[in-house]
Amino acid sequence: MIRQMEKTIDDHNLIEIGDKLVVGLSGGPDSVAMLYGLLALKEKYHIELFAVHLNHMIRGALADADQEYVENLCKSIDIPIYSFKKDIPRMSKELKMTEEEVGRKVRYELFEKVCSEVDGNKIAIAQNKNDQVETFIMRVIRGAAIDGLASIKYIRDEKFIRPLLGCDREEIEAFCEKNNLKPRIDHTNFETEYFRNKVRINLIPHMVKTYNPNLIDTIYRNVEIIQRDLDYLDSEALKEFNKFEPGDISIDVLNSLHPAIRSRVLRKIIERRIGYLRDVSSGQIEELEKLILKGQTGKKVIVKNTVFQIENEKLKIFEKQAYEKVKFNHRLNLGENLVVITEDESYKVILEVFDGNIITKGDKFTACFDYNQIKGDIILRSREDGDRFVPLGLNGKSKKLKNYFIDEKISKEKRDKILIFEDSREIFWVGGHRLSENYKVKNNTTKILKVKIELL
């Protein structure tokens, strides 16, 4: 088993000399065998090991016994152990997630926490060859696309490593027995109410007996091939993706790509925009591909509250809330004014009048105007079709607000939320941007209106 672990580590560059490894230690056969395997390889790689255990509080006294076992085990081999006790059943109800989902979430958060505390750089997870095959079959049943069929990767995010992935369950259990490790057995692994357990206990043995006695190795080799081919496709897609600037995604260029590359480029575009690909379905990727292929201006697809729309032969991306037209209109008084633009966006707008013609310095959200030029009420509103104003510095020439936004490269999703200040005659400030020439402070100005915008 240790020789296979060493081969897996070297073949997939899982460990570098001097790495600090946080090891997930449940107390079961896989994690215990992995810890001992890494301990045996400690001198070769000059690594430091730190164990992390989570007591899920699902199995009562048995879970407490698991915790005691791993703590005593680590003490006997002089490995630092970080034990945590979390009420996963309670958290499951509060978060409205399954115990399995919450347990995994908390477990990985703790791995990251300890890794940061000990200045570690790798986290070792105990998953084996049988886990790989089970995952593959589960994803086939659920209808996963080819990326999903790659199943469990040897290394993820250059941090999470699986040095046991090339070892099968039988040799792991034999290693534990030979070395008298006496790992803990979680009897929930034998309850067939869980999907994975059904696959492991019922489906795979039936397939092995009826169709292919070498099923585990056969599927494992095919997953290896899938991962290899996907690595190549991803590297080619990354080359193409890196050619696109966030605000300059050409529809023609996207359409010139091979479909296998284009779909991966689109996934990377989505990931760059929303930060993750979790729960982004292959169906949504296909819908976005159809949008690209049609290339019709104005057509859009929404993925995770993000709008992808065709505009002038480019793929434009907006937040859904920003995309939806925002309308507001408020009459302002001297002093402080609370202005609500959307549910998530509010401002405090402060109006002050004082004598003289000395302009108060400030940032772009503070501006001074000739108060004597202000006529009627001061209104704060959203932009409207046909808006014009006289931008400062254009020698009194009027300009369409739309053209000003285009010239200043202000994106469409931002335009509706820009604060427009006007009196009874015209716009005197495009808030945070340009003042009107007609309202600027001059040498003969006797009263100044100071306007300050504060985001709440």
Task: Give tens-digit pLDDT for 267-297.
Answer: 999 888 888 777 787 788 888 888 888 887 7
Q: Say which range, 171-180, 315-324, 361-370, has the weakest mean pLDDT.
A: 315-324
pLDDT at 393: 86
Task: Find the DSSP H helices in 143-281.
Answer: 146-149, 169-178, 195-198, 204-210, 215-241, 251-256, 259-274
Q: For residue 326, name the pLDDT band (cuts at 50, 70, 90).
A: low
Q: What is the C-alpha separation between 260 and 250, in angstroms, rounded?
A: 18
pLDDT tens per residue, range 220-271: 999 999 999 999 999 999 999 999 987 789 999 999 999 999 999 999 998 8
pLDDT at 346: 86
Domain 243-322: which CATH class? alpha beta
pLDDT at 192: 80
- Once rounded to an integer, what is the mean pLDDT over residues 84-112? 92
pLDDT tens per residue, range 376-417: 999 999 888 889 999 998 888 899 998 998 888 887 767 878
| Number of neighbours of residue 91 by Cβ within 10 angstroms | 17
* Average pLDDT taken over every residue of the chain: 90
pLDDT tens per residue, range 53-91: 999 998 889 999 999 999 999 999 999 999 999 999 999
Q: For residue 47, name the pLDDT band (cuts at 50, 70, 90).
A: very high
- CB-based contact 33:124 (threshold 8 Å): no
According to DSSP, the residues that pair with 342 across neighbouring strands are 345
Q: For the domain bounded by 2-218, which CATH number is listed?
A: 3.40.50.620
pLDDT at 322: 54
Write the DSSP assignment of 307-368 as a string of letters. Answer: EEEEETTEEEEEEHHHHSPP--EEEE-SEEEEEEEETTEEEEEEEEEEESSPPPP--TTEEE
For the chain, give every residue range classified as CATH 3.40.50.620: 2-218
Q: For the domain bounded by 329-455, which CATH number is listed?
A: 3.50.40.10
pLDDT at 413: 65
pLDDT at 155: 95
Q: Cα dist. 234→157, 165, 322 in Å?
A: 14, 22, 32
pLDDT tens per residue, range 185-229: 888 778 787 889 999 999 999 999 999 999 999 999 999 999 999
For the chain, give every residue range classified as CATH 3.50.40.10: 329-455
Q: Give 307 or 199, the one with higher predicted confidence.
A: 199
Q: For residue 430, name the pLDDT band (cuts at 50, 70, 90).
A: very high
Check pLDDT > 60 for residue 324: no
Q: What share of the chain in percent tops pLDDT 70?
A: 97
H or E element that contains 48: strand 48-55
Check pLDDT > 90 for residue 303: no
Check pLDDT > 80 for residue 439: yes
pLDDT at 129: 96
pLDDT at 96: 87
For the chain, give every residue range classified as CATH 3.30.465: 243-322
Instruction: Classify the C-alpha dihedral 216-217-222-227 as positive or negative.
Output: positive
